[in-house]
């Protein structure tokens, strides 16, 4: 189909990680026309990267022109990437898989670890490991910083962790063990490799593949019980796009928002919003999952040491919290924290140990309200509702303080300032500190979760097909029933690779 065509075999909504991968894989069949639509700017190749992304590739980019930003009153704002490549184009480049139990616990044979491992291997080009767990010729480059190239802060984290009794783990993505080791990253030579670059860029010349950037989807079009396309705004003009199949890849916030705005969701929610019920689907926007984050902050006594801390996160600690029945349920990273970032009257740190609760017990939900005629999401995370989560965070804070007190951190002349001694003197004081400093990890998922046929809360089946509708799938992190014990971008790549495989198998 040409650029002016408005009818396609497959319409993919959302040009983030999963959208770029799916458009690439589905357009491999020359007789299938594919349209990929992205609300943000186009990135056709490396040379087209905006300066904000090309000049600061190591850690997450917070330039508002490349973000969907969702104000959150109780925590930090949730943000997602609004550019071709999505959040994978603006994130911190960690490429951590999670562990086999994560995928096995989803309860679907098609998504057990042994079933998805081929997709992980197929997409990877790992520079450091070539074995049964890793791929070496895929489109996504994965590397780890050599120890000689670690910044002083990263060296301190590694040596401090070993001093405190954590095992060494050279390959965090290997499916066994835990400990401290180099962080897998998808940024060779410091260049963040989003799916727009790894998958989509090499195939942009396919005559059956069309990419529309700066295109905002208003709603999904439904005829009876079948999705038939979407209404969009392109160049501020309304356009109707028809599709033999419509695939939502807009992420764990925008995918449920688009479904609800199109009348697909829980009937009581739709009725409260004044939206006509097209399809009553109770699970939409439920089961909100994320990784809550707490930063333990330190101040360098010697100001001259701060510029030497470096910026990229190069080392990661994974461990099982004391008393937890969930293996490898916590993660610690280290990063500089420029003093200008302090807020809410908190003391300004020079660096932080970022402690992440990888598998919280709490389950939240999204709710929507109308603002200026638009549906705006309201986040109800439910973080820390469960005492087991609070106990894991007390344990994490105390472990982080112990790391800062190790001999390894003495070279940075660091002093822990948050939590202050009085704030970790008792469980109650530490609970209060955690509640005040808790932040969203920007790893939202689960809001259109998949499940077996007898699961009343499942929105989609194992192949991403929306329950009770034809011609409509969801294929992004919103379909995973629970989060993974690791950063989520690698799993997003895998989800799209695996859904593409399932689509072809069921063709």
Q: How far is CA 336 from CA 32, 154, 295, 306, 418, in A?
A: 48, 10, 11, 8, 14
Running DSSP on this structure, what letter comes out for residue 184? P
Q: What pLDDT does residue 57 have?
A: 55
For the entire predicted model, the pTM comes to 0.95
Cα–Cα distance between 439 and 117 in angstroms, integer?
A: 31
Running DSSP on this structure, what letter comes out for residue 239? E
Q: 54, 30, 45: which is closest to 84 by C-alpha? A: 45
Q: How far is CA 242 from CA 6, 12, 33, in A?
A: 6, 11, 12
Q: What pLDDT does residue 4 have?
A: 45
Asked if 254 and 68 count as a contact pair (C-beta separation under 8 A), the reply is yes
148: CB partners within 8 A, 6+ apart: none
- What does the pLDDT look like over 142-159, one tens digit per residue? 999 999 999 999 999 999
List of domains in the chain:
7-97+192-288+444-505 (3.50.50.60), 145-182+292-357+384-437 (3.30.410.40)
391: CB partners within 8 A, 6+ apart: 321, 323
Catalytic pick from 134, 151, 279, 443? 443
Q: What pLDDT does residue 37 have?
A: 98
Asked if 58 and 309 count as a contact pair (C-beta separation under 8 A), the reply is no
Q: CA angle 469-479-105, nearest 5°? A: 125
- What does the pLDDT look like over 364-375, one tens digit per residue? 999 999 888 889
Q: What is the pLDDT along the chain (507 residues), one digit of tens a residue?
A: 334 458 999 999 999 999 999 999 999 999 999 999 999 999 999 998 888 887 665 667 778 889 888 877 567 788 899 999 999 999 989 999 999 999 999 999 999 999 999 999 999 999 999 999 999 999 999 999 999 999 999 999 999 999 999 999 999 999 999 999 999 999 998 888 999 999 999 999 999 999 999 999 999 999 999 999 999 999 889 999 999 999 999 999 999 999 999 999 999 999 999 999 999 999 999 999 999 999 999 988 766 556 567 778 999 999 999 999 999 999 999 998 855 444 455 567 889 999 999 999 989 999 999 888 889 999 999 999 999 999 999 999 999 999 999 999 987 876 889 999 999 899 999 999 999 999 999 999 999 999 999 999 999 999 999 999 999 999 999 999 999 999 999 999 999 999 999 999 985
Cα–Cα distance between 256 and 158 in angstroms, integer?
A: 40
Cα–Cα distance between 450 and 460 in angstroms, integer?
A: 5
Our answer to whether residue 443 is catalytic in this structure is yes
Q: What pLDDT does residue 500 have?
A: 98
Q: What pLDDT does residue 152 have?
A: 92
Cβ neighbours, 10 Å, residue 206:
15
């Amino acid at each position: 189909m040409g650029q002016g065509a408005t009818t396609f075999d497959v319409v993919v909504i959302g040009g983030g990680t999963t959208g770029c991968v799916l458009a690439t894989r589905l357009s491999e069949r020359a007789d299938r026309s594919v349209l990929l639509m992205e609300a943000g700017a186009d990135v056709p190749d490396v040379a087209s990267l905006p300066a904000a992304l090309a000049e600061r590739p190591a850690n997450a980019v917070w330039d508002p022109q490349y973000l969907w930003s969702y104000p959150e009153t109780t925590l930090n704002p949730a943000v997602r990437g609004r550019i071709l490549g999505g959040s994978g184009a603006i994130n911190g480049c960690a490429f951590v898989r999670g562990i086999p139990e994560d995928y096995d616990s989803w309860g679907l044979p098609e998504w057990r670890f042994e079933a998805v491992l081929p997709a992980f291997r197929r997409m990877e080009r790992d520079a450091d490991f070539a074995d049964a767990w890793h791929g070496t010729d895929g489109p996504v480059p994965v590397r780890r910083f050599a120890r000689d190239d670690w910044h002083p802060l990263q060296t301190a984290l590694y040596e401090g962790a070993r001093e405190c009794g954590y095992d060494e783990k050279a390959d965090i993505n290997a499916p066994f063990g835990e400990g401290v080791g180099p962080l897998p990253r998808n940024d060779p030579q410091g260049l963040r490799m989003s799916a727009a670059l790894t998958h989509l860029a090499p195939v942009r010349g396919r005559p059956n593949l069309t990419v529309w950037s700066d295109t905002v989807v208003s709603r999904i079009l439904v005829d009876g019980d079948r999705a038939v396309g979407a209404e969009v705004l392109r160049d501020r003009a309304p356009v109707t796009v028809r599709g033999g199949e419509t695939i939502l890849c807009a992420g764990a916030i925008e995918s449920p928002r688009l479904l609800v705005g199109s009348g697909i969701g829980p009937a009581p929610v739709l009725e409260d919003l004044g939206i006509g019920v097209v399809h009553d689907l109770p699970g939409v926007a439920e089961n909100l999952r994320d990784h809550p984050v707490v930063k333990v902050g330190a101040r360098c006594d010697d100001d001259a040491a701060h510029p030497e801390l470096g910026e990229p996160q190069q080392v990661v600690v994974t461990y099982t919290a004391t008393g937890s029945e969930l293996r490898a349920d916590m993660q610690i990273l280290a990063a500089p924290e420029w003093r200008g970032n302090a807020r809410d009257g908190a003391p300004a740190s020079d660096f932080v140990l970022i402690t992440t609760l990888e598998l919280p017990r709490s389950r939240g939900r999204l709710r929507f309200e109308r603002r200026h005629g638009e549906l705006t999401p309201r986040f109800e995370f439910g973080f820390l509702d469960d005492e087991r989560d609070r106990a894991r965070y007390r344990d994490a804070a105390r472990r982080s303080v112990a790391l800062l007190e190790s001999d390894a951190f003495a070279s940075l002349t660091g002093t822990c300032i948050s939590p202050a001694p009085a704030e970790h003197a008792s469980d109650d004081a530490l609970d209060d500190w955690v509640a005040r400093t808790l932040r969203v990890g920007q790893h939202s998922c689960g809001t259109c979760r998949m499940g077996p046929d007898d699961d009343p809360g499942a929105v989609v089946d194992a192949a991403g097909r929306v329950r009770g509708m034809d011609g409509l799938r969801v294929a992004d992190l919103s379909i995973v029933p629970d989060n993974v014990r690791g950063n989520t971008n690698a799993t997003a790549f895998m989800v799209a690779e695996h859904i593409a495989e399932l689509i072809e198998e069921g063709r």
